[in-house]
A and B are shown apart, each in its own frame.
Chain A
Amino acid sequence: EIVLTQSPGTLSLSPGERATLSCRASQSVTSSYLAWYQQKPGQAPRLLIYGASSRATGIPDRFSGSGSGTDFTLTISRLEPEDFAVYYCQQYGRSPFTFGPGTKVDIK
């Protein structure tokens, strides 16, 4: 099973600032099959990025993904008030399709 580690656990930032979230895999992720999701309290996750760097439908361009192999990054260029949430990475290249433990982005 591929284990995903996310850092930091919590990121405290102000609106307008840049957020950089990291996801590291215990093995190389097949074909960069790495996704990022956003989850707000009481809501289902929302797909942001797939294939490490492709934005899902309707996702603003302030969200971007990069990386390959075992190291991946989600960047939010300028935080909007609605971006404060928990972010999960997920690999879907090899079953079981594991998730990382999440990074909480909260308001400083």
Chain B
Amino acid sequence: EVQLVESGGGLVQPGGSLRLSCAASGFTFSNYWMTWVRQAPGKGLEWVANIKQDGSENYYVDSLKGRFTISRDNARNSLYLQMNSLRADDTAVYYCARGVFWYSSSPFDYWGQGTLVTVSS
């Protein structure tokens, strides 16, 4: 059974940092592009970033470039999102998701349950 389990969310002060993790199981993690998507409370979905199978390529939404970094450790079947200089508008549930196909242009067939990040003083 495919499972994606996010962790690392919580309350952080504005300007702080947080590192999210996503533990994958039930599939060959190193074969898939992986993605982070976020959802602010009561709002819609926002694609954040994705990363290639071997970590050699990654892409970000323009508004987050320079503050967020996506990475992965295929030996640990884990995906990460390092978030720096956090702002109140980064408050959201953060989901990791798996791409359906082996290439970047792929929808997402499996999602984690999400981890809530709250940025507040």
Contact B113 A44 (CB under 8 A): yes
A99 at the interface (CB under 8 A from B): yes
Point out residues on B near A: beta carbons under 8 Å: 35, 37, 44-47, 50, 59-62, 95, 100, 104-109, 111-114
Contact B107 A95 (CB under 8 A): no
A90 at the interface (CB under 8 A from B): yes
Closest 6 CB pairs of A and B: A44-B111, A35-B107, A50-B107, A99-B45, A96-B61, A97-B47
Report the interface size class on chain A: 20 to 34
A51 to chain B, nearest CB (A): 8
12 more contacts with CB within 8 A, not counting A44-B113, A90-B47, are: A30-B105, A31-B105, A35-B107, A35-B108, A45-B95, A50-B100, A57-B109, A88-B44, A90-B45, A90-B107, A95-B59, A99-B44
B60 to chain A, nearest CB (A): 8
